[in-house]
Structure 1
Amino acid sequence: MKILVADDMISMRHVLIHILRSLDYTDIDEAIDGIQAFEMLQKKRYDVLITDFHMPKLDGHQLLERVRNHAKLARLPVLMISCEASKEKIQSIIASKVTGFIVKPFTAKTIEKQLNKIKQKSSRLTIQIE
């Protein structure tokens, strides 16, 4: 599974990458903000985007909307990570068809559970198509 991690905080990117590697995900790229992430998504195929909500230039919600409105990326699973407490903002993200929402602080188990849900959905889609 090819994963793109987008977060403006280098320490958070490294924590996520460490967790992903501990779960045996090794094909991981990182982006420093939403703009770089969107550029990378257009150039390379990824199976999952894990993005922070609060980022400069292009935040996670804006990135999610760009992904959902892009013909080739619209079905890409997107996991949003945030410490956001605003019910309205969280509902807006859910309305934008985020695949999963993870609240900080989180554990490796939380990431593993979300990625397993994505893999199950992907395998069901494959079975239905075949």
Structure 2
Amino acid sequence: MTTSLADLSVLLVEPSHMQANLVTRMLQHQGVRQIKVVDTAEAALAALTEGAAAGWVVISSLYLPDMAGTELVMAMRADEELESIPFILVSSETRPQVLEPVRQSGACSIVAKPFSEQQLSRALFAAADYLNPPEDLDVAEIESLRVLLVDDSLASRRHLRRLLEELGIERITEAVNGKEAVDLLQETMVDLVITDYNMPEMDGRELTEYIRTQSWQNSVPVLMVTSEQNTGRLAAVERAGVSAICDKPFEAGNIRKLISESLTR
């Protein structure tokens, strides 16, 4: 089921009055009717806590007066009532080390400034898709699917687990790195492995190579969800035998599509 953008309630966190007006006009032009604007992270958290059941989507600038947008999203992910709220970061920042916490937090999108209304619209539809999982997947197949989720980021694992559970997948095993995943694969049969790339002990490429060359489950689909941007490293992952690669932050629909394709294979 796809939600109309008119059904979304957007909380815009933007300290610049001019930028807030610009984004508000874009949202209204896209059909969004419920828009609340605040200028600090503290005000945003207060609004979200007060109306946690309102179906919020948060659009936030990176640099806020009281904390960074990265800290805001991490505060949301640490709160059980707020952790599943879609988060969209709007920023001109390009440094990977600054944006990495947002990528790992399970953000829906990072929209680079300056941005067009179409780019903002795509981010909104990604948030709507996250809030409304499809109903057309085979329930029996989904419920029987056994997934191994490998990521050293707790926030990323929680975000992916929510997506999987919304699809009806309940048999989920977690590992914090490739080495722990190898131990689990030796004794636990799985139908799908979803793994990060950058992890301590054993990274995603090494895990994929192990699965393809040494594991008794060498044909299991391996989906890599990663913020890695180095094309050489990603090419090495493809050569190792990964089934598909999905960027962080990812659109929920892409993950669902890849999972559906792995089922048909």
**TM-score normalized with structure 2 length:** 0.45
Rounded Cα–Cα distance in structure 2 between residues aligned with 1:20 and 1:12: 12
C-alpha displacement at 1:35, in angstroms? 0.7
Counterpart in 2 of 1:3?
147
How far apart in 1 are the matches of 2:176 and 2:235? 25
Q: Residues 53, 71 of structure 1: CA spacing in aligned structure 2 closer, same or farther, 3 A cutoff?
A: closer
Instruction: Determine if contact 2:186/2:215 at 8 Å carries over to the other structure.
Output: no
The answer to whether the aligner puts 1:50 opposite 2:189 as a matched pair is no
State yes or no: 1:94 paired with 2:238. yes
What is the CA–CA distance in structure 1 between the aligned matches of 2:191 and 2:197, rounded to whole Å? 19
Match of 1:15 in 2: 159
Amino acid at match of 2:181: A
Shift of 1:107: 2.1
Deviations 1:27-73 (A, max 9, x none): 11101111111100111100001000000010011111111112512
Q: Say yes or no: does 1:83 pair with 2:258.
A: no
2:252 paired residue number: 108
Q: In the aligned structure 2, how far is the partner of 1:98 from the partner of 1:81? A: 11
TM-score by length of 1: 0.90
Three-state SS of the structure 2 residue aligned to 1:8 is coil
* Cα distance in 1 for residues equivalent to 2:152 and 2:215: 26
Deviation sequence 1:60-108 (CA, Å, 0-9, x none): 1111111111251210110011111111111111111101111110122
Amino acid at match of 1:35: K
1:60 and 2:214 equivalent?
Answer: no
Q: Between Structure 1 and Structure 2, how many residues are aligned?
A: 121
Q: Percent identity, aligned pairs only?
A: 31
For structure 2, list consecutive stretches of 5 or more residues without a partner in the other structure. 1-144
Q: In the aligned structure 1, how far is the partner of 2:169 from the partner of 2:215?
A: 27
Q: 1:25 aligns with which of 161, 169, 179?
A: 169
Q: Which has the higher contact order (CA 8 A, sep 6+)?
A: 1
Find the aligned partners of 1:71 and 1:53 in 2 and give their Cα distance: 19
Partners of 2:220 and 2:186 in 1: CA distance: 12
Q: 1: CA distance between counterparts of 2:205 and 2:262? A: 19
Which whole-Å CA distance do the structure 2 matches of 1:8 and 1:87 have between them? Answer: 22
Structure 1 unaligned spans of 5+: 122-130
